[in-house]
Amino acid sequence: MTDFFQGIPAITFEGEEGTSDFAYRHYNADEMILGKRMEDHLRFAVAWWHSFAWPGGDPFGGATFERPWFGETMDLARMKADAAFELFAILGQPYFCFHDADIRPEGADFAETTRNLEEIVDYIGQKMEAGGPKLLWGTANLFTHRRFMAGAATNPDPDVFAYSAATVKTCMDATLKLGGENYVLWGGREGYETLLNTDLRRERDNAGRFLQMVVEYKHKIGFKGAILVEPKPQEPSKHQYDYDVATVYGFLKEFGLENEVKMNIEQGHAILAGHSFEHELAMAATMGILGSIDMNRNDYQSGWDTDQFPNNVPEIALAYYEILKVGGFSSGGTNFDAKLRRQSLDPADLVLAHVGAMDVCARGLKAAARMLEDSGLEDARQERYSGWDTAAAKQHLTNGLDGCFDYVIQNSLSPEPRSGRQERLENLINRFV
């Protein structure tokens, strides 16, 4: 145990009339929404990397956080795990997520690094058995160390490819051992800086084969969770191969993986791609590859991925609306891939950031559920496309260009446009948020 969070109470639900900062006003784990507990809808997870491993730097300055567990020893890794489970006990969220590099120190060689991972996984497993939260997903950090500066699966050096594959094996083993419900791959440096030194075909082929190897190993070890890919358009690489949901879906189709891999979609990454969060969720749902989400937000004034905690209820309501429309999460959940501002130094800041975010998500979920129950939005959408329900309309899709030409001539068609009623629908949404 540590004394890092000393004096901070366990967070309980007080409702909207509560006055304590250290209380949930909207997140009531046991509240029933659409026939399911709120906790089971949201499936909150705390991200180990931002909450316990991030030092508080930015592109223009170094660390601002001073955590007693910072350092590259196993004793400090165990202290970090102790602090993590103390936060988990305070928040009472059901899940957490981690990269291998978040939880273990780097060893002198791959074998020592693997032993460190296995040792800390055993330590974390003991804490989970003692009543800690479950593992939503594990992943490998294949982007921070200098060996990955030219990518992992897409690296021009075959030894780095092999090292990366071996690393993923150890992380999948760790995820399986801890009962993880998903495994995530984020291609942080699977991209390029310049075409002058890049073989696009070779890199894409190698990335595709790498992902096939991950799926093969999943089935070999009997991992029942989902394999998830997390898209991002740029940063740290200038051009990323996993730009957005549509791009990744095309990639999955190319390598025969569309039925094996789903998506972990992050709000901040959607914004960097020029999309809204709900757009990316709707695209994934339409393609049958919606898996899980990283919940955060970006600063619209900044040009990089700021990973701030969410605070915009209308945006979140529209996101959960898309999720609820397809029946909610299966193995996925809501991971807070979010970090404190580098001036937020106190332990209480880390607690309250999560408290506020969980409340905001709860408000968004409840608004989304009311929107779905009301059915006004779906009724309007159905009415707009109702013309396609007729037999004559469906024939347009099979008659070819000649058939459509004959139909227009025979019926003297001169269609007039109809209102999309966007403002009316925006007003409808505002009734609930």
Q: Which strand (E) or helix (H) includes residue 200? A: helix 200-221
Q: Give the pLDDT of residue 303.
A: 74
Nearest to 327 by CA among 361, 366, 369, 295: 369
Domains annotated for the chain, with CATH where assigned, are: 12-374 (3.20.20.150), 379-430 (no CATH)
- Name the DSSP letter for residue 308: B
Q: Tell me, yes or no, if 157 is annotated catalytic.
A: no
Give the separation between CA 73 and CA 114, rounded to whole angstroms. 14
Q: 99 catalytic, yes or no?
A: yes
CA distance 75 to 92: 25
Q: What pTM, to 2 d.p., does this model score? A: 0.97
Distance, in Å, from the CA atom of 91 to the CA atom of 24, rounded to the nearest integer, reads 10
| pLDDT tens per residue across all 433 residues of the chain | 899 999 999 999 999 999 999 999 999 999 999 999 999 999 999 999 999 999 999 889 999 999 999 999 999 999 999 999 999 999 999 999 999 999 999 999 999 999 999 999 999 999 999 998 999 999 999 999 999 999 999 999 999 999 999 999 999 999 999 999 999 999 999 999 999 999 999 999 999 999 999 999 999 999 999 999 999 999 899 999 999 999 999 999 999 999 999 999 999 999 999 999 999 999 999 999 999 999 999 988 877 889 999 999 999 999 999 999 999 999 999 999 999 999 999 999 999 999 999 999 999 999 999 999 999 999 999 999 999 999 999 999 999 999 999 999 999 999 999 999 999 999 999 999 9
As a whole number of angstroms, the distance between CA 133 and CA 93 comes to 7
319 is written with which tokens?
Answer: 């996101």
pLDDT value, residue 193: 95
The two tokens of residue 291 are 């898996």
Q: Of the candidates 239, 180, 237, 187, which has an alpha carbon nearest to the alpha carbon of residue 211?
A: 187
Which H or E run includes 352? Answer: helix 347-374
- Alpha carbon 123 to its chain centroid, in Å, reads 26
Predicted local distance difference test score (pLDDT) of residue 132:
87
Which residues, 6 or more positions from 135, have their beta carbon under 8 angstroms from its beta carbon? 95, 96, 97, 98, 128, 175, 178, 179, 180, 181
pLDDT value for 142: 98
Bond before 236 cis per omega within 30 degrees: yes
CB 224 within 8 A of CB 251: no
Kindly name the residue from 100, 102, 244, 337 that is annotated as catalytic. Answer: 102
Q: Is 46 helix (H, G, I), strand (E, B) or coil?
A: strand
Identify the pLDDT of residue 299: 84
Tokens, residue 88: 């988990």
Exposure string for 266-292, b = 16+ CB within 10 A, e = fewer: bbbbbbbbebebbbbbbbbbebebbbb
Q: What is the pLDDT of residue 59?
A: 84
pLDDT of residue 273: 94
Distance CA 262, CA 228 (A): 5
Name the region of 288 (left: φ>0; alpha: ψ -120 to 50; beta: rest): left
Residue located via tokens 């479950």: 134
Which of 26, 41, 50, 99 is the catalytic position? 99
